[in-house]
A and B are shown apart, each in its own frame.
Chain A
Amino acid sequence: MTTDQLATAIIKGFLDGGESFLEGTLAAALPIFWLMALALHLARPYMLNTTHKFSLRLAADIWWVLYVGLRDAIVVIAFVMSFMYLFPDVLMSQALPIGGSLAAAILFGVLLTKLVADADDDPRAFRVVSYLLALGATLYILPTLAGVQVSALALGDPWDGLGKALVTSTNPTLAMGLWWISIIAVGVMGFVAVWFNLRAPGASLRRVA
C-alpha cells in the first residue's frame, strides 16, 4: 500500500463515516422532534387556559408568542432534518424508516396548511393539522420501532421479515415508490405556497398598515 492509497482510504473512511454518523443521528433524533411537534400542537388548550390567567396583557402576549414560536419552530426544524429522506442515495445506503419520506412530505403539508389557513382560529384547519401531525408521527415512529429497531435485534421470523419490509435499505422498491410520491407532493405543495404568497401578501400588508 502506498502513502497516497492509505491517505485516500483514511479520507474516504473519514467522509463516509461522518456522513453515516450525521444521517444516523438525524434519523434517531427525528422521533423526538415528531413527538415534540405533536405534543406542542396538542398543548393548545393548556396554553390558552394559562394565557387567560395572566393579569397583564404583556405577559399573556409573551406567553403566546413563545408558545407559537416554539411550536412552529419545531415543525420547521423537523422538516429541515427530514430533508435527507428526499435524497434517494441516503434511502438506499442507510437503514431508515420506510415512511420517512412520506412523513417529510406531511410535515411540509402541515406548514402549508398553517400558511394558507388559520389553524389557530379555524377549527377545520386545526383538525387538518392535527390529523396530518398524527399521521406523520405514525408513519415515522412505527417503522422506526418495528423496522429499524427490531431488524437490528435479529429475532428471527416473522420479526425479521417485518423489520426488513419497514426499512428503506432492505425494501428499496417500496422506498423509491414512496420517495416519488413524496417528492411530487413536496413539489406541488411548494408551488401552491409560492402561488399563495405571490397572490396574498399585498392584501396582508395593506391590512396591517
Chain B
Amino acid sequence: MTPEEITNAITQALVQGGQQWLVATIGAFMPGLWALTLIFHLARPYVLRTLRKLSLRFGADVWWLSYVLIRDAVALITFGLSVLFLMPNIALTMDVPLTAPLATLFLFWALYVKLMRDADDDVRAYRVATAFLVIGATFYFVPQTLGLEANSQDYLAGVATFLDSAKNQALAGPILVVALVGFAATAALIFYRVVLSASRRVGSGTAAPQKAGLS
C-alpha cells in the first residue's frame, strides 16, 4: 500500500467515521434524552407539591420557572436531535430503532399540543400531551432495547432483526413515509394556526397593549 493510499484511507475513515460517530453518538444519547423528557414531564405533581411548600412567591416562581424551562428545553432538544431519524439515508441504511421516525412524530404532536393548548392549566391538554409522549417514548425504547441492543441474545435474534431499521427496510420505508407525511402536515397545521391566530389578534386589536409596551 502506497503512502497516498494510506492517506486516502485515513481521510475516508475520518470523514465517514466522523459522520457515523456523530449519528451513533446522537443515537446513544437519545434514550437518555427521551428518559429525561418523560421524567420531567411526569415529575409535574412532585414539582407542584414542592412549590406549595415554598413560603415566598419569589422562591416559588424561581422553582417553577426553572422546572418549565428545563422540561421544555429537554423536550425541544430531544425533538431537534430526533429529526435525524427522518433522514432517509440514515433511517434506512444505519442501525436505528425501526419506529424511531414515529417516535419523532409523536414528540412533535406533544409539542404541538403544548404550543396550541395550555398543557399546564388545561388538564385535558396535559393528558393528551402525556399520552403522545408515552407512545413516542415506547416507540423509541422498545426497538432500541429489544432490537439494537439485544444482538448478543440468540433467543431474541428474530425480534432484534425485525426492530432494526437497516435489517427490516421493507417496513422501515413505509414507517418513514408515514412519519414524513405526518411531520409535514403537522408543521403546516402549526404554521396555519399560528399565522391565523396572530392575524385575528392583530385584527381585533388585542395586540395593541403589547405594541404600546414595546414602544
Give A contacts to B, CB under 8 Å.
1, 3-4, 6-8, 10-11, 14-15, 18-19, 22, 57-58, 60-62, 64-65, 68-69, 76, 79-81, 83, 86-90, 92-93, 111, 114-115, 118, 120-121, 176, 183, 190, 193-194, 196-198, 200-202, 204-205, 207-209
Q: Out of A10, A62, A65, A200, which one reaches B17, CB within 8 Å?
A: A10
| A-binding segment of B48-56, B80-88, B165-173, B199-207 | B48-56
The interface residues of chain A, by DSSP majority, are classed as helix
**Distance in Å: Cβ of B137 to nearest Cβ of chain A:** 9
- In the complex, which residue of chain A has the Cβ closest to the Cβ of B6? A6
Interface residues on B, range: 35 or more
CA distance A65 to B13 in the complex (A): 49
Closest 9 CB pairs of A and B: A61-B59, A87-B149, A10-B13, A6-B9, A11-B17, A202-B123, A92-B152, A7-B12, A80-B32
Chain B residues whose C-beta falls within 8 Å of the C-beta of A118 in the assembled complex: 49
Q: Across the interface, do B45 and A65 meet the contact criterion of CB distance under 8 Å?
A: no
User: Which chain A residue shows the least CB distance to B133?
Assistant: A194
Q: Assess whether B17 is in contact with A14, with CB atoms less than 8 Å apart.
A: yes
Q: Select which of B13, B20, B50, B152 is within 8 A of A120 by beta carbon.
A: B50
Contact assessment for B49 and A204 in the assembled complex, using a CB-CB cutoff below 8 Å:
yes
Closest to A208 in B: B48
Residues of A with C-beta under 8 A to B192:
none
B residues less than 8 Å from A76 (CB atoms): 36, 39
Q: Among A14, A68, A120, A198, which residue has its beta carbon within 8 angstroms of that of B127?
A: A198
Taken together as a complex, chains A and B put the C-alpha atoms of A7 and B12 apart, in Å, by: 6
Beyond A19-B28, A58-B58, is A89–B45 a contact (Cβ under 8 Å)? no
Ordered by A's residue number, 15 sampled pairs between the chains whose C-beta atoms are within 8 Å are A7-B8, A15-B17, A64-B59, A68-B50, A76-B36, A87-B145, A87-B150, A89-B149, A90-B149, A194-B130, A197-B45, A201-B48, A205-B48, A207-B48, A208-B51
Q: Are A79 and B35 in contact (CB under 8 A)?
A: yes
Whether the Cβ atoms of B8 and A15 lie closer than 8 Å is no
Chain B residues closer than 8 Å to A194, beta-carbon distance: 42, 130, 134
Question: A93 CA to B41 CA in the complex, in Å?
Answer: 33
B148 to chain A, nearest CB (A): 8
List residues of chain B with CB within 8 A of the CB of A79. Answer: 35, 39
Q: Cβ of A83 and Cβ of B35 under 8 Å apart?
A: yes
Report if A196-B45 is in contact (Cβ < 8 Å); known contacts: A6-B1, A83-B35: yes
Residues in A neighbouring B130, C-beta threshold 8 A: 194, 197-198
